[in-house]
């Protein structure tokens, strides 16, 4: 089984402050994972701080 996280770094918020915005995304999703059973097929869209879709995560 694999946990895959994909974030597009050319988004407006990620281009301005890549380390800060990526850190926020990782903290948010790290804390939010407890709401998922983490089985193959699970996943979700990832949004930046401006609520724009920038990627997603999934379990394979």
pTM of the model: 0.81
Q: What is the overall mean pLDDT for the chain?
A: 91
Look at residue 8 in the predicted model and tell me its pLDDT.
92
Q: Which two tokens stand for residue 36?
A: 């998922």
Percent of the chain scoring above 70 in pLDDT: 100
Please, which pLDDT band fits residue 60 given cuts at 50, 70 and 90?
very high
- pLDDT one-digit tens code per residue, 26-55: 999 889 889 999 999 999 999 988 899 999
d(CA 34, CA 58): 14
């Amino acid at each position: 089984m694999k946990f895959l996280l994909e974030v597009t770094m050319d988004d407006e918020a990620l281009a301005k402050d890549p380390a800060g915005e990526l850190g926020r995304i990782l903290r948010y999703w790290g804390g939010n994972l407890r709401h998922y059973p983490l089985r193959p097929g699970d996943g979700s869209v990832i949004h930046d701080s401006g609520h724009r879709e920038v990627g997603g995560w999934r379990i394979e």
